[in-house]
Structure 1
Amino acid sequence: MTVTYTLSVSEARFWGFPRLLARWKGSIYRKFESIAHYCHGFTEVVPITFVLGFYVTFIVGRWWQQYCNIPWPDRLAIQISAYVQGADERGRMIRRSLVRYVNQISILTFQYTSTIIKARFPTLDHLVEAGIMTSDEKEVIENTETPHGIWWVPAQWFGQLAMVARKEGRIHDDLHLKSLIDEMLSFRGCCGNICL
């Protein structure tokens, strides 16, 4: 049966609203009250403090895990400056490109997860304007089809350039090359965990 309250609503004053709710027999308010009574019966079975404690522990644990996975480029940049030798322009450009690739990895990762980074670098063109990416690199990334993020592409470039530096004798030891690659893979792994 449909009960109309149009006239009562139009004439209701401030204190008339609670009376109107009491008259409102077919409302969602009554359904909510019955659901609340139903849920209240379960609080005796499972204490709400236990559920809230579990929920808060889960949320704080997830936050801490995300915080611990924030990639920091400092260690990798220090290794690049120590292991990649050469006082000439070529050596400087290799070191600069390696650090630039590391920054590309982190920015491409944070574009998916951080609104601040997405606002600063909404497109790849903004990375080119900032000098973090070249127009050729932008073209390669745009033509790369992947169902997931593209943050792994600069990691590939990093590995290739590190191998070139080793072949040119700018990285004097295979152990230093391995250390660079391992550190980059650790950095890339943190970026992957951030995206999960």
Structure 2
Amino acid sequence: MTITYTLDVSTSKASSFCKLLLRWRGSLWKSVYKELFLWLCGYTALSLVYRLALNPEQRIIFEDISVFAYRYTDFIPLTFILGFFVSLVIDRWWDMFTNIGWIDK
């Protein structure tokens, strides 16, 4: 289903960008709101546990675990993972492009 944004983009006011960004149909927010809500709930829960439930000794252990996890995230660099992702996206695009029917050969 095609969603047109022509009327929202035709004016050059600051509010038109906000209206376009906060539009629900066909928006980025519609596709990521579940994951965003889950991430925010997890982050809030960890923050509340750290600030309210842990004593100072347990906070030091939690911080040490956090530093350990941060240091070992560099073993698999992000560019390596992004390379596989981009390769997958390009392969899918190329498969769709080669399967398009053309009038002449």
Do the two structures share a fold, i.e. TM-score over 0.5? no
TM-score, reference length from structure 1: 0.24
TM-score, reference length from structure 2: 0.38
Whose relative contact order is higher, 1 or 2, with alpha carbons under 8 Å and at least 6 apart? 1
